[in-house]
Amino acid sequence: GQVLFKMHGTQDAKQVDAALRAVEAALTRDDRCERALVTKAEILQRTGKENESFAIWARVYELYPKNVDAQRMKRLADMRGVQSAKPSKPPGRPSNRPPAKEEGGLFSKLFGSKKK
């Protein structure tokens, strides 16, 4: 897919479709393939599908945070306010703080708790 796209660019729609099909085939074998994801994002970006492209770049950034192109595209998407560029957070507590204990807080420990 990458070779087809690099050779023909966005000039020939049939070649762009063939390149996308080849990249999709690679992603069905390994959905975390960095090169295939980057190529798909580049193809989508150059064919005017920026929001879809930003979503792929966000995935590349999640999987490979040291990828310089993904870092750059994530910053660009964040500046433009594209929602799909923000990586999804795993479900769970909204903060890293542990949940408060039922037995009381700091003041209860210092001054004692009111026991009934």
Per-residue pLDDT at 97:
60
pTM for this one?
Answer: 0.62
Per-residue pLDDT at 24:
93
What fold does the segment set 2-88 form as a domain?
1.25.40
Per-residue pLDDT at 93:
47
Residue numbers in the chain where pLDDT is lower than 50:
3-5, 7-8, 85-93
First and final C-alpha spacing in the chain: 72
Number of residues written out for the chain: 116
Q: Rg (Cα) of the chain, in Å, rounded?
A: 23
CA distance 38 to 6: 13
Q: Where are the domains of the chain?
A: 2-88
Residues 6+ apart with CB under 8 A from 4: 15, 18, 19, 22
CB 53 within 8 A of CB 44: yes
